[in-house]
């Protein structure tokens, strides 16, 4: 059986199920449950994929969580699938059987391309559909908050609009169009607005590309400035954290949760944001300080928030964020339907199957 080394990411665990007949039953059951939202026949899907990957199944799949684990298995490895772990000359020199590396994503900065060429190791990338889905949701939240879609849902009559505090009245059709006869004030659009991307990693770049298509200016901040090529591709300008807060009309969070990012958007950060700015979080809830968010909304300085990640999941029926009409809350659905994860896995194993069939 080919030996496949896979970085232990929660989505990449599907490779364990697809390729290794020794995958534990508990993992198979958990993965089947995860897909059950949109895929009824998990076993049928496994069989279908195994039918087109040839010599890739069955395989000995070894899940590794650290660089040390990776190094320990290199002598046997024929294919390596990575998300964040680094690999270069010291690693490839220990992997005499290695045919190829799959980067689960498109950012190859942790992989030494020159070393891959030197050791004649194929390198392929997989653009993650789940990242595209998350980026779509970030834009959706910006539009939903900015255009007051949830707040005004169903308010098509005079009484309903007045109950929301608006003063609806038809315009003089002889002289002007009838658009927004509901007289909903404070609507915000994306065209010409400034996106503040907190993080320009793989998800951040997907958000930036969509924001650019919508006519937004894109600023970004992260701990380490991105390479100029990535900035050019995203048409994104690097600014300080303070500059991002002060200039963003829509602040969108795309950072992992670490000790450094926990509570990053706190009371001081909200105080520096421009009046009426909208916060969007499709990353991790604790990056935003909860009490500070509630205070910023209560004061009226924050123009609204769109949140797909929450401080408790499942949340409580009396979640205080529900009281604000300018807050849109979705139940952690940014990754979209399970077709995105299925597509990513099928694209990954198809690339692996090509690699395993070639001679070293």
Q: Which helix (H) or strand (E) holds 70?
A: helix 67-73
pLDDT at 336: 85
Beta pairing partners, 100: 79, 122
Backbone Cα Rg of the chain: 24
Q: What is the pLDDT of residue 328?
A: 98
Contact call for residues 122 and 353 (beta carbons, < 8 A): no
CATH number of 131-148+186-329: 3.40.50.720
What would the 3-class secondary structure string for 184-241 be?
A: CCCCCCCCCCEEEEECCCHHHHHHHHHHHHCCCEEEEECCCCCCHHHHHHHCEEECCH
Known catalytic membership, residue 313: yes
- Percent composition of the chain: helix, strand, coil (DSSP 3-state, to 5): 40, 15, 45
In the chain, CATH 3.40.50.720 sits at 3-125+339-356, 131-148+186-329
CA dihedral 179, 185, 187, 192 (to 10 degrees): 90
| Tally of CB atoms within 10 A around 134 | 23
Query: What is the pLDDT at residue 359?
Result: 65
- Give me the pLDDT at residue 360, please: 58
Omega within 30 of 0 (cis) for the link into 314: yes
- Name the active-site residue from 174, 313, 358, 359: 313
The answer to whether 87 and 69 have CB atoms below 8 angstroms apart is no
Assign 358 to helix, strand or coil: coil
Global pTM reads 0.94
Tokens of 318: 């009396």
Q: Which residues contact 95 (CB under 8 A, 6 or more apart)?
A: 74, 75, 77, 80, 119, 121
Q: Give 3-125+339-356's CATH code, choosing from 3.30.460.10, 3.30.70.60, 3.30.60.50, 3.40.50.720.
A: 3.40.50.720
pLDDT tens, position by position, for the chain (360 residues)? 999 999 999 999 999 999 999 999 999 999 999 999 999 999 999 999 999 999 999 999 999 999 999 999 999 999 999 999 999 999 999 999 999 999 999 999 999 999 999 999 999 999 999 999 999 999 999 999 999 999 999 999 999 999 999 999 999 999 999 999 999 999 999 999 999 999 999 999 999 999 999 999 999 999 999 999 999 999 999 999 999 999 999 999 999 999 999 999 999 999 999 999 999 999 999 999 999 999 999 999 999 999 999 999 999 999 999 999 999 999 999 998 999 999 999 999 999 999 987 765
Name the maximum alpha-carbon separation found in the chain.
80
Dihedral, CA of residue 343, residue 344, residue 348 and residue 354, to nearest 10: 30
Catalytic member of 233, 332, 338, 354: 332
The catalytically annotated residue of 50, 246, 284, 338 is 284
Q: Taking the mean position of all CA atoms in its chain, how far away is CA 215?
A: 21
The pLDDT of residue 30 is 98
332 annotated active-site: yes
Active site residue 284: yes
CA distances (Å), origin 82, targets 75, 224, 258, 314: 17, 21, 20, 31
Ranges of H-type helices in 84-178: 89-92, 113-118, 129-146, 158-163
């Amino acid at each position: 059986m080919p030996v496949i080394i896979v970085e232990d990411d929660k989505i990449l665990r599907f490779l364990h199920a697809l390729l290794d007949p020794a995958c534990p039953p508990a993992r198979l059951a958990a993965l089947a449950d995860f897909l059950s939202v949109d895929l009824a026949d998990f076993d049928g899907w496994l069989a279908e994929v195994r039918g087109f990957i040839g010599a890739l199944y069955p395989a000995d799949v070894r899940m590794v969580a650290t660089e040390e684990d990776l190094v320990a298995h290199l002598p046997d490895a024929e294919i390596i699938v990575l998300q964040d772990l680094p690999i270069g000359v010291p690693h490839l020199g220990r992997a005499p059987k290695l045919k190829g590396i799959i980067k689960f994503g498109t950012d190859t900065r942790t992989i030494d391309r020159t070393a891959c060429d030197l050791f004649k190791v194929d390198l392929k990338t997989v653009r993650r559909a789940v990242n595209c889905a998350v980026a779509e949701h970030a834009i959706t939240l910006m539009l939903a908050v900015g255009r007051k879609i949830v707040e005004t849902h169903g308010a098509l009559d005079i009484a309903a609009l007045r109950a929301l505090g608006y003063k609806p009245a038809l315009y003089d059709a002889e002289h002007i169009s009838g658009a927004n006869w509901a007289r909903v004030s404070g609507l915000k659009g994306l065209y010409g607005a400034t996106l503040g991307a907190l993080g320009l990693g793989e998800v951040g770049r997907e958000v930036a590309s969509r924001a650019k298509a919508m006519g937004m200016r894109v600023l970004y901040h992260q701990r380490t400035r991105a390479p100029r090529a990535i900035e050019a591709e995203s048409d994104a300008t690097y600014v300080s954290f303070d500059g991002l807060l002060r200039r963003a009309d829509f602040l969108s969070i795309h950072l992992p949760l670490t000790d450094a990012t926990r509570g990053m958007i706190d009371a001081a950060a909200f105080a520096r944001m421009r009046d009426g700015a909208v916060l969007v979080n499709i990353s991790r809830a604790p990056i935003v300080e909860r009490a500070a968010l509630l205070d910023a909304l209560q004061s009226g300085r924050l123009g609204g928030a769109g949140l797909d990640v929450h401080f408790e999941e499942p949340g409580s029926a009396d979640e205080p964020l529900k009281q604000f009409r300018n807050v849109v809350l979705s139940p952690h659905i940014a990754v979209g339907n399970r077709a995105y994860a299925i597509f990513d896995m099928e694209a990954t194993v198809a690339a692996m199957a090509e690699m395993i069939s070639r001679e070293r």
